[in-house]
Structure 1
Amino acid sequence: MDDPGEVQVRNPCHRPLFIFLTVVISLGIITMVSISVVQNKPLLQKYKYGIVLDAGSSHTSVFIYEWPAEKENNTGMVKQKHTCNVKGKGISSYSANPEMAGTSLQVCMEEAKQIIPAYRHRETPVYLGATAGMRLLKMENETASGKVLDSVAHSLQMYPFSYQGARIILGQEEGAFGWITVNYLSENLRKPTGTLGALDLGGASTQITFVPKHEIESDNNSINFRLYGNDYHLYTHSFLCYGKDQILKIFMAEKLRSTFVVNKTGPIEIKDPCFHPGYKVNKTFQSLFDTPCIEEVNTLPNKDLIHVGLGNWSMCQQSVRKVFNTTICKYSRCSFNGVFQPSVDGNFGAFSAFYFVMNYLNLTTDTLDNAKQKLTTYCSIPWQKIVENHPNIKEKYLAEYCFSGTYILTLLENGYNFTSKNWKDIQFIKKIGESDAGWTLGYMLNLTNMIPAEAPDTPLMPYGGYVTFMLLFSLLILFLFFMAYMYFCRSTRTTQKDII
Structure 2
Amino acid sequence: MSAQREMKEKNLWHTPVTIIITVIGVIAIVALVTVAVLQNKPLHQKYKYGIVLDAGSSHTALYIYEWPAEKDNNTGRVEQTHSCKVKGPGISSYASDPVKAGESLSECMQEAQLKVPKDRHQETPLYLGATAGMRLLNIENSSASDRVFQAVGEALQKSPFSFQGARILSGQEEGAFGWVTVNYLDDRLSQGLETTGALDLGGASTQISFISDSFDGSESPANSVTFRLYGNDYNLYTHSFLCYGKDQVLRLVLAHLTQSGLGNVADPCFHSGYMETKNYSVLYDSPCVSDRKPSGAPATFTHSGRGDFLQCQEMVKKVFNFTNCKYSQCSFNGVFQPLVQGPFGAFSAYYFVMNFLNLTDTSIPLEVVKEKLTRYCATPWNEIQQQHPKVKVKYLAEYCFSGTYILTLLTEGYNFTSESYSDIKFIKKIKGSDAGWTLGYMLNLTNMIPAEAPDTPLLPHAGYVSFVTVIALLLFVLFIVSLRPLWPSCSKQPQIV
TM-score band w.r.t. shorter chain: 0.7 to 0.9
Alignment of 1:351-370 (within 5 A): 351-365=347-361, 366-370=364-368
CA distance 1:363–1:35, change in 2 (3 Å): closer
Q: Distance in 1 between matches of 2:236 and 2:375?
A: 39
Spell out the pairing of 1:90-169 with structure 2 (5 A cutoff).
90-169=90-169
Q: CA deviation at 1:192?
A: 2.8
Q: Show the counterpart of 1:223.
A: 225
Name the CA distance, whole Å, in 2 between partners of 1:259 and 1:32.
89
The residue aligned with 1:213 is: 213
| SS, match of residue 134 in structure 1 | helix
Give the aligned length: 428
How do 1:470-481 residues align onto structure 2 when only pairs under 5 Å count? none
**Larger radius of gyration between Structure 1 and Structure 2:** 1
Corresponding residue of 1:233: 235
Q: CA deviation at 1:71?
A: 3.5
The within-5 A match list for 1:212-291 is: 212-215=212-215, 216=217, 217-260=219-262, 268-291=263-286
Q: How far 1:160 sits from its partner (Å)?
A: 1.3
Change (3 A) 1:29 1:55: same
The verdict on how the C-alpha distance between 1:443 and 1:191 changes in structure 2, with shifts beyond 3 A counting, is same
Kept after mapping to 2: 8 A contact 1:55/1:130: yes
Q: Map 1:7-156 onto structure 2 (within 5 A).
A: 38-71=38-71, 74=74, 76-156=76-156
Shift of 1:34: 7.8
Give the aligned partner of residue 434 of structure 2.
436
State TM-score, norm by structure 1. 0.81
Q: Secondary structure in 1 aligned to 2:80?
A: strand
Shift of 1:40: 4.1
Corresponding residue SS for 2:121: helix
Q: 1:225 to 1:28 in 2, by over 3 A?
A: same
State the alpha-carbon separation in 2 of the partners of residues 73 and 121 from structure 1: 20
Gaps of 5+ in 1: 1-23, 261-267, 453-461, 469-500
* Distance of 1:76 and 1:147 partners within structure 2: 38
Instruction: Answer whether contact 1:75 1:445 (CA < 8 A) is retained.
Output: no
Q: Which structure 2 residues correspond to residues 349-428 of structure 1 after superposition, within 5 A?
A: 349-365=345-361, 366-428=364-426
Task: Return the letter of the residue paired with 2:135.
Answer: R
Task: Call closer, same or farther: CA 1:375–1:450 in 2, change over 3 Å.
Answer: closer
The Cα shift of 1:115 comes to 1.0
- What root-mean-square deviation, in Å, do the aligned CA atoms of Structure 1 and Structure 2 show? 2.5
Task: Structure 2 unaligned segments of length 5 or more: list them.
Answer: 1-23, 451-460, 470-497
Matched, 1:296 2:273: no
Higher RCO, Cα 8 Å, sep 6+? 1
Could you state the TM-score of these two structures normalised by the residue count of structure 2? 0.81
Partners of 1:221 and 1:204 lie apart in 2 by: 19
2:313 aligned with 1:344, yes or no? no
User: How far off is 1:297 after superposition?
Assistant: 4.2
* 1:139-163 deviations in Å (ceiling 9; x for gaps): 1110011111111111111111111
2:315 counterpart letter in structure 1: S
After TM superposition, list the pairs within 5 Å mapping 1:444-463 onto structure 2: 444-449=442-447
The amino acid that maps onto 1:54 is D
Counterparts of 1:218 and 1:124, CA distance in 2:
39
Q: Which residue in the other structure is 1:471 paired with?
A: none
Q: Secondary structure at the match of 2:122?
A: helix
% identical aligned pairs: 62
Alpha-carbon offset, residue 407 of structure 1: 0.4
Q: Deviations over 1:330-353 (max 9, x none)?
A: 000000000000000111110000
CA deviations on 1:55-92 (whole Å, 9 max, x unpaired) are 00011100000011234873642100000111111111
Q: Distance in 1 between matches of 2:40 and 2:448?
A: 33
* Aligned partners of 1:74 and 1:449 also within 8 Å: no
Instruction: Name the amino acid aligned to 1:368.
Output: L
Return the alpha-carbon distance in structure 2 between the equivalents of residues 28 and 274 of structure 1. Answer: 81
- Give the counterpart letter for 1:233 in structure 2: N
Structure 2: distance between partners of 1:183 and 1:55: 23
Q: CA deviation at 1:33?
A: 8.8
Between the aligned partners of 1:191 and 1:36, the Cα distance in structure 2 is: 32
Letter of the aligned partner of 1:232 in structure 2? Y
